[in-house]
Structures are given as C-alpha cells and as structure tokens.
Amino acid sequence: MRRQELEAMDFEELWLLHEELTKILAEKITAEKQELEKRLAQLNRPDQFGGTEGGPAETATGQPPRRKYPKVMPKYFNPLRPTETWSGRGKQPRWLVAALKSGHTLEEFRIPENEEPSDTKAGGRGHS
C-alpha cells in the first residue's frame, strides 16, 4: 500500500489493518522460532559429526570435559558444627581459617581415623 492510500483511510480501517498485520507477524515469528529451535536441537545432538560414544568430545566453551575424580573422604571437621567438613584439598573453609587465626592448630580438627580399617587405600576402597 502506498502512503497516500494509508493517509486516506479512517481510524477504524487503519486499526483493523494494524490488528491483521499484528496477527500475521505473530504467526511468522512463531514459525521462525520453531524453525530455529529445530535447528538448535539438531546442532546440540551429540551423535552429529560422529561424536564419541562416551559423550561429546568438547563442552560448549570449546574445552575438553573435566576429568572425573574419585570422592575424597573428609579429614577435618568443625567441632561447633560437625556436619561441616574439609577434605584437606583446595581452599580452606572459612570456619577453619577463623579458628587457625584465633590460635588453634590444624591437628585439633582432624577426624580420627579409627573409623576406617587401616589396610584400605587412600581412595577408601580395599582390594578384594
């Protein structure tokens, strides 16, 4: 439609045209969204491009997936809250840092090892 034709229309005709255009645009947007979602699902499939059986070779960031490490048993605990534990690896928890600053020693928080048999390996699993 030309601008002159639009300017010649009264308010009611313009409003109906607006509603019709809005409906058509909504349908086209919905169809485009469905198409894009279908394409995205195809791109996210792990078996595309001959992916390995163990899963995708790389994460979305382009880096290889992290190696799975065995669960490490805790070696230290908070005596004020025994459910708070630390394995001795990584950054020290806040409760331990505060206690060490106040004059306590790390050995005061050690979990006694008499709960585990002495012949097990560090991973907590014995060989049978």
Quote the percentage of the chain above a pLDDT of 70: 77
| Residue 71 maps to a domain | no
pTM (2 decimals)?
A: 0.39
Instruction: Return the pLDDT at 122.
Output: 47
- Tracing tokens 């605990």 back to the chain, one arrives at 77
- Give the model's confidence band at 37: pLDDT under 50 very low, under 70 low, under 90 confident, else very high: very high
Q: How far apart are CA 35 and CA 74, in angstroms?
A: 50
Radius of gyration of the chain (CA): 32
The verdict on residue 108 lying in a domain is yes
Find the domain containing 108 and state its range: 76-115
In a domain, 20, yes or no: yes
Between CA 56 and CA 65 the distance in angstroms is 8
**Predicted pLDDT at 117:** 47
Output the pLDDT for position 124: 46
Calpha distance 110→94 (Å, rounded): 16
CA 46 to chain centre: 18
- Closest C-alpha to 66, from 75, 76, 56: 56
How much is the average pLDDT of 77-98? 92
